Structure 1
């Protein structure tokens, strides 16, 4: 029997030939910027599509900045299904926010988190949420209130920039924070249903039910910054 031997370069070339990347993800969409560092075009406040974004969500030194809470979550105009998202976030001392995905915008849902799972953004040292929940499942990078971090303590202190990555492909979801995997799960099926049933989202009609939706930056009332936001659809 003859064996085919391929170098690393050859394997990569073969992967590209079949439209698959070296990391196992399909090579589909190109990277697209969701924020140009100048204005909030392409975003709106949840349930307020077509209306001007108020001055509470603003642009500060090429970053989206929530200067004052109480206006509502900022969401993308466009909806996404499978995607890879990268961004950087910085939270104020004692602050709380989040990146929420597959948000379904419907008047019967009063908030983005009623439908979309959340990648937590938090000052772990000062915000009380870090010590609530179970085994750190409300700390930065975690799947909020549902799954404890795969890698704990991946976040940098308040006031420093953190690089986050969110990958959703064929129902599998991965969170990364500063290069470390912080969550890994399948967002449907019996295991998912069990995790939701054991969380604060038990019995919520629309939570985690949508495979496409808006991406939201949460207004939790605290100052937060987001920058270098880009996405590619998978």
Structure 2
């Protein structure tokens, strides 16, 4: 009876694990529910077919390693910022990311090409940075989740440096929300008197195209140090 019980436990355990979902296989994929809700993948873990270089063509420098998109980091193969080939107006964007120590990056919305040589002078930026390990003192508007140089994140909690963070960005007309690890950390209204006043006192005061477009590309920054992305998906509202 004891041997039968042991065999039963072993067989049950094998069956349990064989039926359990494969977490790795679920990375960079959409469920049937997400497909029905209108979600589409920006990155499938295998190719960069949905992306191009800002103000350029084919993506260079960026690498796909084990289903994770890595920017070029520090080195001679610096690839530059990239943008989605498709443009989006009103949308919900979701992604997971982590940065290497002392690294800095960002996610841009409503990016337009040909207006400026710098992606950050085109669309607002959701800041990604090594908050705790950055070698110099950060300004309040430079922490992860901020609308960089414009709006300070509130109640933001960043995961430890070796763990993944989740980001959600909602854009609906002038209304924009930044979410970090399940918490809404920034909210603002584009093109209002308040927004214009903040811009006029920021580093974007002399950047006439910053934040002015009502549609555009999604952008990822290649800006000093390594940043990794996965599970990037978007749905139009």
TM-score, length-scaled by structure 1: 0.81
Matched pairs, number: 199
Give secondary structure in 1 for the equivalent of 2:120: helix
The offset of 1:128, in angstroms, is 4.6
The offset of 1:159, in angstroms, is 2.3
Q: Is the 8 A contact 1:123 1:157 kept in 2?
A: no
Q: Which of 83, 105, 110 in structure 2 is aligned with 1:102?
A: 110
Give secondary structure in 2 for the equivalent of 1:36: coil
Q: Is the 8 A contact 2:71 2:79 kept in 1?
A: no
After superposition, the Cα gap between the structure-2 partners of 1:165 and 1:76, relative to the gap in structure 1 and judged at 3 Å, is: same
The offset of 1:150, in angstroms, is 2.3
1:115 aligns with 2:125: no
The offset of 1:102, in angstroms, is 0.5
Say which one has the larger Rg. 2
Post-superposition Cα deviations, 1:161-217, rounded to whole Å, max 9, x if no partner, equal 000000001210000000011100001110110111121111211001101011111
Post-superposition Cα deviations, 1:117-140, rounded to whole Å, max 9, x if no partner, equal 0000000012256x333xx21100
- Whole-angstrom CA distance in 1 between matches of 2:39 and 2:203: 35
- Whole-angstrom CA distance in 2 between matches of 1:217 and 1:85: 13
For structure 1, which runs of at least 5 residues remain unmatched after alignment?
1-27
Q: Is the 8 A contact 2:169 2:176 kept in 1?
A: yes
Q: Which of 24, 43, 48 in structure 2 is aligned with 1:40?
A: 48
- Whole-angstrom CA distance in 1 between matches of 2:207 and 2:151: 17
- Whole-angstrom CA distance in 1 between matches of 2:129 and 2:213: 25
- Whole-angstrom CA distance in 2 between matches of 1:171 and 1:157: 33
Give secondary structure in 2 for the equivalent of 1:174: strand
Give secondary structure in 2 for the equivalent of 1:148: coil
Q: Is the 8 A contact 2:109 2:219 kept in 1?
A: yes
Instruction: State the match for 2:175 in structure 1.
Output: 172
Post-superposition Cα deviations, 1:87-144, rounded to whole Å, max 9, x if no partner, equal 00010001000001111111x4101111100000000012256x333xx211001111
Instruction: State the match for 1:25 in structure 2.
Output: none
The offset of 1:29, in angstroms, is 6.5
Q: Which of 132, 135, 138 in structure 2 is aligned with 1:132?
A: 138
Instruction: State the match for 2:23 in structure 1.
Output: none
1:148 aligns with 2:149: no
Q: Is the 8 A contact 1:115 1:207 kept in 2?
A: yes
Q: Which of 58, 81, 85 in structure 1 is aligned with 2:93?
A: 85
1:217 aligns with 2:213: no
The offset of 1:149, in angstroms, is 1.0
RMSD of aligned alpha carbons: 1.5
